[in-house]
């Protein structure tokens, strides 16, 4: 089951995206709908709200006056915290029930406003953010919802800013155009990423790799993309992983690279990585195992054993290399990364090698093999840097 977190600032158009995804076949769990459900008449949370905030946030019919409550809590962190302490446990219990009811082969979309604020990105395979400028969202809230402008500004200010949302977003849907233009983006996302990603998860297979070798100029977003994947792997494996970190060329600022995020998981023993619970946890997270046993070409004349997993996400190629902490392969991956990060001449030398090999028209597999002689040649330089580095 593909789990998607859908979020965006108030007035961004998130609900429109959720409806489109539901029409395409997704199972959508709407956090706002759940929040309304748990404060319906007769629900325990409603009684607790009356006790904390009084009768002024209730209508004459005894129902909760949500706009009145909003005016009380937005802009008052203490009041908002009190409200969340009342409603959140009930919301999460009901949300868990709805999530468990979804079919195993579904694309499950959790329409949740506070994914970024609550640092929940690791709970999902993908986080989709619907984006629009603060000015556009303000205009929509006043024009379309009839909100008071100051009330709308307070609600916007209480949420995460766009920098935080972009850092959390695996997918950014730009909603500055028409509803039809937004719908085109959503349908394309469904066909090109959600459906194949879900199929790969269901069958435990990696996403199809590109046939042609390409080398990309350095991209700032690689760091944020890797951080999101690290968080998901850490959450999936828990104490089974001793370390999870970004390695490889995309972890070195300023270095051209294949557009592939490499992660290294350090384990106490490869026996731990062979346990079915470990393999299943990574597969559910979006990283099925590739082959039973893998190895690196060692620099000591020996093969360096590891376990290898690859991303099921067709929109984000990524590899997970599982190695024993302290093993030669584990240490080399870290030392090589750290050496390139600080040695500008080494980065330039490696970048030139990449460009020469790219010009030869090699396949990705041939390219990987062709780099091995250079890796062997710099082994002592890498060791020397590690020996003189702090820690």
| Orientation angle between helical segments 149-157 and 66-73, nearest 10 degrees | 60
Q: List the structure tokens of 241.
A: 């992983």
Please state the three-class secondary structure of 142-185 as a single string.
HHHHCCCHHHHHHHHHCCCCHHHHHHHCCEEEECCCCHHHHHHH
Neighbours of 183 (CB within 10 A): 15
Residues 6+ apart with CB under 8 A from 2: 106, 107, 108, 125, 126, 194, 197, 198, 201
Query: Has 214 been labeled as part of a binding site?
Result: no
| Orientation angle between helical segments 328-342 and 379-387, nearest 10 degrees | 80
Query: Has 133 been labeled as part of a binding site?
Result: no
Q: List the structure tokens of 249.
A: 């060329």
Q: The tokens 């990603």 sit on which residue? A: 197
Query: Has 223 been labeled as part of a binding site?
Result: no
Query: Has 8 been labeled as part of a binding site?
Result: no
d(CA 188, CA 205): 22
Please state the three-class secondary structure of 195-229 as a single string.
HHHHHHHHHCCCCCCCCCCCCECCCCHHHHHHHHH
Neighbours of 321 (CB within 10 A): 20
Query: Has 87 been labeled as part of a binding site?
Result: no
Strand order in the sheet with 303-310: 243-247, 261-267, 318-324, 303-310, 294-297
d(CA 286, CA 14): 25
d(CA 129, CA 165): 7
Query: Has 42 been labeled as part of a binding site?
Result: no
* Helix and strand totals (H; E) in the chain: 18, 10
Burial of 389 (0-12, 13-18, 19+ CB in 10 A): exposed
Distances (CA, A) of 372 to 201, 228, 253, 367: 32, 30, 22, 9
Residue positions forming the annotated binding site for ATP: 11-16
Residue positions forming the annotated binding site: 11-16
């Amino acid at each position: 089951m593909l789990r998607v977190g859908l979020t965006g600032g108030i007035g961004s158009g998130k609900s429109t995206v959720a409806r489109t995804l539901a029409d395409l076949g997704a199972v959508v769990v709407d956090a706002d709908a759940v929040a309304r459900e748990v404060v319906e008449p007769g629900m325990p949370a409603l009684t607790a709200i009356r006790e904390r905030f009084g009768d002024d946030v209730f209508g004459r019919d005894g129902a909760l006056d949500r706009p009145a409550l909003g005016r009380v809590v937005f802009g008052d962190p203490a009041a908002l915290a009190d409200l969340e302490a009342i409603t959140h446990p009930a919301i999460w219990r009901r949300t868990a029930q709805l999530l468990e009811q979804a079919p195993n082969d579904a694309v499950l979309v959790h329409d949740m406003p506070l994914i970024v604020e609550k640092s929940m990105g690791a709970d999902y395979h993908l986080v989709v953010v619907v984006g629009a400028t603060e000015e556009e969202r303000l205009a929509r809230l006043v024009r379309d919802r009839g909100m008071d402008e100051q009330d709308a500004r307070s609600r916007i200010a209480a949420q995460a800013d766009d920098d935080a949302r972009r850092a959390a977003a695996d997918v950014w849907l730009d909603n500055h155009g028409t509803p039809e233009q937004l719908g085109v983006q959503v349908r394309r996302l469904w066909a090109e990423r959600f459906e194949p990603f879900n199929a790969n998860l269901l069958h435990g297979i990696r996403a199809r790799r590109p046939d042609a070798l390409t080398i990309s100029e350095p991209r700032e977003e690689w760091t944020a993309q890797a951080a999101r994947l690290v968080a998901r792997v850490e959450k999936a494996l828990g104490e089974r992983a001793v370390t999870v970190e970004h390695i490889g060329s995309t972890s070195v600022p300023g270095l051209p690279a294949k557009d592939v995020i490499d992660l290294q998981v350090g384990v106490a023993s490869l026996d731990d990585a062979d346990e079915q619970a470990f393999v299943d946890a990574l597969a559910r997270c979006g990283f099925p195992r590739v082959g039973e046993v893998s190895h690196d070409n060692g620099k000591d004349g020996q093969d360096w054993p590891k376990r290898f997993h690859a991303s099921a996400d067709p929109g984000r190629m990524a590899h997970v290399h599982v190695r024993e902490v302290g093993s030669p392969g584990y240490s080399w991956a870290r030392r090589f990364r750290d050496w390139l990060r600080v040695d500008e001449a080494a980065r330039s030398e490696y970048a030139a090698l990449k460009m020469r090999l790219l010009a030869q028209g090699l396949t990705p597999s041939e390219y990987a093999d062709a780099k091995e002689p250079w890796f062997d040649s710099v082994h002592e330089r890498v060791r020397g840097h590690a020996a003189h580095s702090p820690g």
